[in-house]
Amino acid sequence: MSGFESTVPDELGDPAVHPAEIPEPGAVTIVVPTFNESANIRELLRRITDAVPARLPCEVVFVDDSTDDTPDVISRAAQDCPFPVTVLHRDEPVGGLGGAVVEGLKAATSDWIVVMDGDLQHPPSLVPELVARGERSGAGLVVASRYIEGGSRAGLAGGYRVAVSRGATWLTKSLFPRRLSGISDPMSGFFAIRRSVVTADVLQPLGYKILLELAVRSRPRQVTEVPFVFQDRYAGESKSTAQEGFRFLRHLVGLRTASPVARMIVFGLIGATGFVPNLLGLYALTAAGMHYVPAEILANQLGVAWNFLLIEHLLFRERRGHRHWWDRVGRFALLANADLVLRIPLIALFVDRFGMGALSATALALVTTFVLRFVGTEALIYLPRRRGTSADRSRTARRSA
């Protein structure tokens, strides 16, 4: 990752690098995440120049993940701007578009931060109104919404994108009814937020829906909305792909499973889906002539592998870095197979010691081993390992020396 460069014209018209200046009260930092948007940059900065500085002191922060010449185009176009333009190019686009926005939030120096796309589907002329609405209402978050009176999603190309947008909006509001209360357009990428209410360290973005991340993890107490008309893209192609759609779904699961109870429920649902590969494997192996006992043992491993993949990518995505993958695989397989070994003695205990019937004893054993398996999976695989042991300290001392 490269450093920050504030590029503004000096008296000779050449770009110069200046240290960050303290903005005037009520100033705005416009954060624009970009990925190969070179054809849109000059027009975007021109429209910002026409709409914003006369009404509101501003700076523009581009956080760029491009593989084309977008950073160079920004530097050249900034020479004609009457406000500071900052370019942060990321060599590794961690967190996707949402991760770029978080970097911009950290770099912002103004009282207000406006996040908008670089393709001109978000009109820069609305930036002063977003900040003014926040100041008038005392809100900490002002969302530009396509779904309130005066707004429109006209720039969404085709019925498919309209259906996807509507479906995603319904899904997110259904999953987070309390957190998204008062936000009609949680999929909007155009909003203003007070810098004082942003806790960037708690954000864990994945993909391009950063407003949802902010609303769920660190939503300010008061939210208001401003209608806007979603414009046609000025140039280039949309970055919305099927891969981004899958990342969005993974992000939803991560947000929804932030609490232990929710994680346990999803853990159980994932475990239930493991019966499918297990039964398919058992059918294939026995049909091939294998005895049912070794076939059951092997087929169980298919279910274990299936569950592990889903848990890794849906439930504990943010915690995978605490251990090597082979360590996680081994521990998960050990816990999953220990579940089978433990269940039979538990059933015998419940029947012989407590006089339970076989059916109720089996059900109780299933619940007990499920809870133990969930707790063991979280504690022994995905919780961070304890730091500060004598061995750790000695290694740290050697590195320091």
Q: pLDDT tens, position by position, for the chain (401 residues)?
A: 333 343 433 333 333 333 344 444 458 999 999 988 899 999 999 999 999 988 888 999 999 999 889 999 999 999 989 999 999 999 887 877 888 888 998 899 898 999 999 888 999 999 999 999 999 999 999 999 998 998 887 766 556 666 777 777 788 777 777 777 888 888 888 999 998 888 766 676 665 678 888 887 777 778 999 999 888 777 756 655 566 666 667 767 666 666 677 777 778 888 888 778 878 888 888 888 888 778 877 887 888 899 898 888 777 877 777 788 888 888 888 888 787 778 778 878 888 888 888 778 777 877 887 888 888 888 888 877 665 444 444 443 343 33
Read off the amino acid at residue 239: K
State how far the Cα of 179 lies from the Cα of 305, in Å rounded to an integer. 35
What does the block give as tokens for 143?
A: 């969302």
Structure tokens belonging to residue 393? 């300290």
Cβ atoms of residues 319 and 382 within 8 Å: yes
Instruction: Compute the distance between CA of residue 195 and CA of residue 98 in angstroms, rounded to an integer.
Output: 17
CATH number, domain 5-236, options 3.90.550.10, 3.40.190.10, 3.20.20.70, 3.30.559.10: 3.90.550.10
Taken in order 207, 208, 211, 214, is the CA torsion positive or negative? positive
Torsional sign, CA 190, 194, 195, 196: negative
- The gap between the terminal CA atoms of the chain, to the nearest Å, is 27
Strand partners, 7: 17, 85
**136 Cβ contact list (under 8 Å, min separation 6):** none
User: What's this model's pTM, rounded to 2 decimal places?
Assistant: 0.62
Return the beta strands (E) in 201-311 as ranges. 223-227
Helix (H) or strand (E) holding 308: helix 292-310
The domain ranges of the chain are: 5-236, 260-382
Triad 75, 81, 83: Cα angle to 5°? 105
Dist CA 305 CA 299 (whole Å)? 10
Q: Strand 28-34 relative to strand 112-115: parallel, antiparallel, unpaired?
A: parallel
